[in-house]
């Protein structure tokens, strides 16, 4: 065979190889979230702006892996995230809905801390943990209550101690939290400290109003949040039960919507502790039925919360949960928020599916279960993924290794959520969106992913269909305004977007 023929054959073989390689790469990327979206000409131009920032940041991280923000603990990466042009872009982007966060950890840390300057706030330290409560006068008892104002003036280091009690932020999380047990203990203790502060009725309503405001400022138009319906109190001793607390939420929401008519609303998921006995869950069922009957537009459904590895699994409460399911109550179960496989925590996924859950909170262990993955995709059960929460609560160190990377790149029904931003110094949704976009997505993941995540957040909400259509129409208007402003090179203010 002549050298010319051999060269020709090699050239053809080489061409076939590169053609097949391109097909394989394209086929693989065609499964990712947003891959089916065809960008308009305007969106393509905005995408160039976004990707110019992303590729530089991504490739700089590839050159110096220690600088890649999703691989760094959030306590140490936060300032870098805030300086990122990609984060700035995401912060200004209309993100739709926030679908997984908890009642007493919703606001920014700064706002939470500033609440401690309210009048009549007392503090007391029990076993090195600060308790907070509002009283109209000094109260005696097991706790030596002192005005927080006096504690500040008497001790120059009190404020530092106070701040340490309102979050789980530490300088060296690896040393401070050697295992999930230590970080969860601190996490739950923080809820205990915050509880008395935010359940004073005026603070409770101001707190919820501020939560909605911070979401709106982050270009979020709708909220579904989980809560315990804690007893709320007045200075004069008056208290509000679960019905009264729900009315306070609704009253505050209605006022917020009057002040900001472009906000599309909020719904509540009753989510009490899972670490209880069956009789208590029977009480939960009764409360949920009462709430649904009285506030059908505001009550979205039911969940059980708390550290899954140390709480009761769903299987312990099947009769009660089946009874609740018969009332058409929607479920939003936390499931498989764990590194373990085959444990009761991990098996919560199976019971959540069998109980026809509407969404799954976290679902961190789902990639270990092919049949559950199949059912989630077939039934369109959204997975609520909270990157920062999963990192700081020690399920994963490097977010490039988070199961969300597989789920995002395989096109599963995913929404990105914020869980408990107060306690780790985040705010609303943008920090989690940034880490998902940079840490989960491919290097080539682009505006299409962000657009689909926003659409997912609205599609997988429990808004009524006509309400959802209205929200989607409003979002489309916001999206077009956002694109125009990016192309104009102007500074984007929340009022321009919303």
Confidence of residue 12 (pLDDT cuts 50, 70, 90): low
End-to-end Cα spacing for the chain: 71
Kindly report the number of other CB atoms within 10 A of residue 366's CB atom.
Answer: 21
| Per-domain residue ranges of the chain | 90-111+202-479, 113-181
* 90-111+202-479 homologous superfamily: Metal-dependent hydrolases (3.20.20.140)
Tokens representing 423? 């306690």
Query: pLDDT per residue over 245-293, tens digit each?
Result: 999 999 999 999 999 999 999 999 999 999 999 999 999 999 999 999 9
**Active-site position among 337, 369, 384, 402:** 337
Query: pLDDT per residue over 26-57, tens digit each?
Result: 999 999 999 999 999 999 999 999 999 999 99
303 CB burial (10 A radius; 0-12, 13-18, 19+): buried
pLDDT of res. 19: 85
Percentage of residues of the chain with pLDDT beyond 90:
90
In whole angstroms, what is the distance from residue 226 CA to residue 102 CA? 5
**Active-site position among 100, 334, 362, 369:** 362
The region, left, alpha or beta by phi > 0 then psi within -120 to 50, assigned to residue 301 is: left
Stretch (H or E) spanning 292: helix 278-294
> What's the pTM?
0.95
Mean pLDDT of 168-197: 97
Cα separation values, 102 from 191, 270, 409, Å: 11, 10, 28
In whole angstroms, what is the distance from residue 175 CA to residue 173 CA? 5
The answer to whether residue 337 is catalytic is yes
């Amino acid at each position: 065979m002549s050298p010319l023929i051999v060269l020709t054959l090699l050239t053809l073989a080489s061409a076939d190889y590169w053609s097949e390689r391109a097909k394989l790469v394209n086929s693989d990327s065609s499964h990712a979230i947003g891959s089916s979206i065809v960008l308009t000409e305007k969106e393509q131009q905005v995408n160039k702006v976004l990707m110019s920032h992303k590729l530089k940041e991504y490739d700089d991280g590839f050159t110096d892996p220690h600088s890649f923000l999703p691989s760094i603990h959030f306590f140490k990466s936060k300032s870098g995230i805030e300086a990122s042009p990609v984060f700035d872009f995401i912060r200004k982007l209309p993100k739709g809905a926030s679908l997984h966060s908890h009642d007493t950890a919703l606001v920014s840390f700064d706002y939470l801390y500033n609440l401690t300057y309210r009048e009549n706030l007392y503090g007391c330290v029990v076993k090195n943990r600060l308790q907070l409560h509002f009283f109209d006068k000094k109260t005696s008892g097991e706790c030596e209550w002192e005005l927080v104002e006096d504690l500040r003036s008497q001790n120059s280091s009190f404020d530092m101690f106070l701040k340490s009690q309102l979050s789980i932020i530490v300088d060296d999380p690896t040393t401070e939290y050697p295992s999930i047990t230590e970080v969860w203990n601190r996490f739950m203790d923080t809820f205990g400290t915050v509880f008395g502060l935010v359940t004073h009725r005026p603070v409770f309503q101001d707190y919820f109003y501020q939560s909605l405001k911070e979401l709106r400022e982050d270009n979020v138009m709708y909220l579904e949040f989980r809560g315990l319906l804690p007893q709320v109190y007045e200075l004069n001793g008056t208290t509000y039960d679960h019905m009264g607390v729900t009315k306070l939420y609704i009253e505050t929401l209605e006022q917020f919507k009057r002040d900001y008519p472009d906000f599309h609303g909020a719904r509540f998921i009753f989510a009490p502790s899972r670490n209880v006995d069956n009789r208590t869950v029977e009480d939960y069922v009764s409360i949920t039925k009462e709430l649904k009957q009285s506030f059908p537009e505001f009550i979205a459904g039911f969940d059980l919360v708390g550290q899954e590895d140390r709480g009761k699994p769903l299987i312990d409460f099947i009769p009660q949960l089946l009874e609740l399911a018969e009332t058409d109550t929607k479920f939003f179960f936390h499931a498989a928020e764990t590194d373990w496989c085959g444990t009761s925590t991990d098996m919560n996924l199976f019971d959540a599916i069998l109980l026809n859950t509407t969404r799954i909170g976290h679902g961190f262990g789902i990639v270990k279960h092919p049949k559950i993955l199949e059912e989630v995709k077939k039934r369109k059960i959204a997975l609520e993924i909270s990157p920062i929460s999963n990192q700081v609560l020690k399920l994963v160190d490097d977010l490039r290794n988070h199961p969300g990377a597989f789920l995002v790149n395989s096109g599963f029904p995913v929404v990105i959520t914020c869980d408990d931003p107060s306690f780790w110094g985040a705010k609303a949704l943008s920090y989690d969106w940034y880490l998902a976009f940079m840490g989960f997505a491919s290097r080539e993941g682009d505006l299409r992913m962000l657009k689909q995540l926003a659409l997912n957040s609205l599609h997988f909400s429990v808004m009524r269909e006509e309400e959802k259509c209205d929200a989607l129409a409003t979002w489309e208007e916001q999206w077009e305004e956002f694109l125009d402003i990016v192309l104009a090179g102007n500074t984007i203010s929340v009022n321009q977007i919303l």
